[in-house]
Amino acid sequence: MFKSLNLGDTNMDEKRIEALWDCVFCGNKGILGRYDTCPNCGKGRGVETVFYLPEDVQSAVLSREEAAKTTNRADWLCAYCGTYNRADREHCIKCGALRSDAETDYGSVNSQTDFGNFK
Ligand SMILES: [Zn+2]
Ligand SMILES: [Zn+2]
């Protein structure tokens, strides 16, 4: 999870800040947005996780190289098991379903898909 922020630098580039989040399971605080599971207890962050900016925003600004690796794509929910997945994942971390299957683009859904097994 990254937030874009204009810090009013002389260059007009938007700065990309790595947001932080707190683990609701073990109380671990200030987990970097790049992690989608708690480094302390291993539990995944939920959809309701609140992100916030670090107090020292300047030091949290990503370098140009780091920012290039981040994405503006939205995080997504698996259509099959409801698991919350990070934007840069192409497969569900839980059931392995393809992200493209989860995205609501029914117009391009392959009609070969066999729904006969769902009862
Ligand atoms: Zn935790
Ligand atoms: Zn899934």
Give the ligand at the shortest distance from the Cα of 44: 1
For the chain, strand residue ranges (E) read 2-5, 15-18, 20-21, 31-32, 51-52, 76-77, 84-85
Q: The tokens 């997945």 sit on which residue?
A: 85
> Which residues crowd ion ligand 2, with CB under 5 Å?
78, 80-81, 83, 92, 94-95, 97
Task: Extract the tokens encoding 46.
Answer: 């939920």
> Which residues crowd ion ligand 1, with CB under 5 Å?
23, 25-26, 28, 38, 40-41
Question: Shortest CA distance to 21 belongs to which of 9, 36, 5, 11?
Answer: 36
Asked if the model's pLDDT at residue 28 lies above 90, the reply is: yes
Question: Shortest CA distance to 46 belongs to which of 73, 6, 82?
Answer: 82
| pLDDT tens-place string over residues 41-52 | 999 888 778 889
> Taking residues 2-30, what's their average pLDDT?
76
Q: Say what the pTM is.
A: 0.48
CA of 79 to the centre of ligand 1 (A): 25
Share of residues in the chain with pLDDT > 70 (%):
71
> Taking residues 89-101, what's their average pLDDT?
88
